[in-house]
Structure 1
């Protein structure tokens, strides 16, 4: 993955947490587009309208969401990004390709593609639509800029589909759905030369649960000292969950260690996170991204 020059200069060694760099006014802005649904725009949380004025919502619906968190991070890291988003509630990549091409068929430096939470609403877990429309979108986007970095988001296990009956993941371990979604994203990436990578959001959620930071089952109460990654519907993310998502996008796209943002990171402070939780989420994101790098070297 090609990194911007500023990222190469400010990347940190694992474990380090230097002060956040000031924004370099002279740096040319890289364009990044987020394509997705409520999992990208931060539904059922204060993230949805967070700093919407700092990003461009192509649908003009006043969304800040995960893109605005990413923008907040990059500003603090001294990186210039022009952030845009095109999101629609409950929609998959097929919708964005068939209905929103006029908005997204432009030259971008980075594009993040996030699909429906079960991949296929009619056939949950079936990856056929995911592979097909990820490839079609990637082909369209690359035609505008052959050097674009296209990343697929592999999202989280939905607690409502794990702890309630009636889904393919009912009664399965909480990490199973996230693993299945990651497998589908890997298949889509393998099927398309234009897709550069996968952002392991769901696996980072699973890592947070294993580490004891996040409670695995919101239906039986949240353990003392733990956080709830899900919102009140046990489907969408809480502010903590979206923050972790944004950290992973930040680390994957810029090449920077998320821990470089540090305990004083401004978005976490705006959202009212305890300092220890901020650091723990940054550590989880960094560890997940490091594990991806280790796997790619084998």
Structure 2
């Protein structure tokens, strides 16, 4: 199986030829690439009360939580994948429950505005809590944060993580996407992130997590509607609240981020991948999710 994806223009912008060559040769002797994840529960893991095992509590000792809350989350999954791939990343996170990027800018700028090599920004799940689907706040504050990070390190790369369709926003009458296909919210969210990417020359692309979820649903791996029960042989990407991710949903997110950031094919992690084993994801499902992430990253601009 290929060890590296070949159709990732955003990754090539992110890393550059020299860095890709260094990765291919082995980065053990190079300084660690510093990575900061900024987001909310769509980055740090499932809500309180979700069944164990917990992505939020996964290997918090392997990453640095700048808020001191002891969270592992998707950043710790990413860290595990990079170790398995023989890469050297120093991973940090700063997360606020239910927050948009404006919250991080106004409340945590002094904490996060440092000289990072790479920053991943993830905003509120509906783009705007008060005006679902409106990308204006995302566009404004992703640009402002990108400027703040570039002030600290002109070579920093800033990427955006576009999130998934919420089942509660699609299948419930009070949802902003009620009556639309389950895939539509993720597509609309991606368009919002694309607008933010286009608005700032300091942003280096969008990671298509929500579209990877759409692909898992369209391909029959994941059930599209948790409200009518989970079809036998399918997985549920959502947590019991039908809002956050399940361990499968967050695992798919982490795989997509891993592939987009490193240029490595998620399928190279294989059936014996450690995080899947530790979270209780069976090998067949783990490899199926790896295939989904790889397929989505091979055509990152598809909506």
**TM-score, structure 2 as length reference:** 0.90
Which residue of structure 2 lines up, in the alignment, with residue 87 of structure 1?
Answer: 95
How far apart are residue 146 of structure 1 and its match? 1.7
The correspondence of residues 33-182 of structure 1 with structure 2, limited to 5 A, is 33-44=36-47, 46-182=54-190
- The answer to whether the 8 Å contact 1:7/1:256 transfers is no
* Partners of 2:14 and 2:204 within 8 A in 1: no
- What secondary structure is seen at the aligned counterpart in 2 of 1:182? helix
- CA contact 1:27–1:79 (8 Å) conserved in 2: no
Residue 195 of structure 1: aligned partner: 203
- After superposition, the C-alpha distances for 1:45-80 in whole angstroms (9 at most, x for unaligned) are 510010000000000001000000000000010100
The CA deviation at 1:24 is: 5.7
What SS is found at the alignment partner of 1:161? helix
Contact 1:6 1:79 in 2 (8 A): no
Describe how 1:234-253 pairs up with structure 2 within 5 A.
234-253=242-261
Secondary structure, counterpart of 2:159 in structure 1: strand
- Is structure 2 residue 241 aligned with structure 1 residue 233? yes
Aligned to 1:190, the other structure's residue is in SS state helix
SS in 2 for 1:100: helix
Structure 1 distance, partners of 2:57, 2:82, is 18
Q: Which contiguous aligned blocks of 4+ residues in structure 1 show a shift greater than 6 angstroms? A: none
TM-score (normalised: structure 1):
0.92
- Per mean C-alpha deviation after superposition, the further-off stretch among 209-218 and 167-176 is 167-176
Which residue of the partner structure matches residue 15 of structure 1?
Answer: none
Deviates more, 1:145-154 or 1:46-55: 145-154
Look up the match of 1:254. Answer: 262
**Aligned residues of 2:57 and 2:73 also touching (Cα < 8 A):** yes
Does the CA-based 8 Å contact 2:23-2:87 persist in structure 1? Answer: no
Cα deviation, residue 25, structure 1: 4.2
Aligned equivalents of 2:246, 2:239: Cα separation in 1:
4
Q: Distance in 1 between matches of 2:28 and 2:22?
A: 16
Using the TM superposition, give the Cα deviation of residue 236 of structure 1 relative to its aligned residue in structure 2, in angstroms.
Answer: 0.2
| CA distance, structure 2, for counterparts of residue 6 and residue 111 of structure 1 | 17
* Residues 7 and 72 (structure 1), Cα distance of their counterparts in 2 relative to 1, 3 Å cut: farther
Is it true that 1:270 corresponds to 2:273 in the alignment? Answer: no
CA shift, 1:144, in A, is: 1.3
CA offsets 1:32-54 (integer angstroms, 9 cap, x no match): 00000000001235100100000
Deviation track 1:124-179 (CA, whole Å, cap 9, x = no partner) reads 11111110001100111111112211111110000001000123201110000000
Instruction: Go from structure 1 to structure 2 and tell me whether the alpha carbon gap of 1:2 and 1:185 turns closer, same or farther (over 3 Å shift).
Output: closer
Instruction: Work out whether residues 6 and 78 of structure 1, in 8 Å CA contact, stay in contact via their aligned partners in 2.
Output: no
Q: Distance in 2 between matches of 1:276 and 1:55?
A: 28
- Please tell me whether the aligned partners of residues 207 and 300 of structure 2 are also in contact (alpha carbons under 8 angstroms): no
Q: Report the more deviating stretch, 39-48 or 99-108.
A: 39-48
Task: Show CA shifts across 1:270-295 (max 9, x none).
Answer: 011111101000000000000127x6
Moved more, 164-173 or 63-72: 164-173
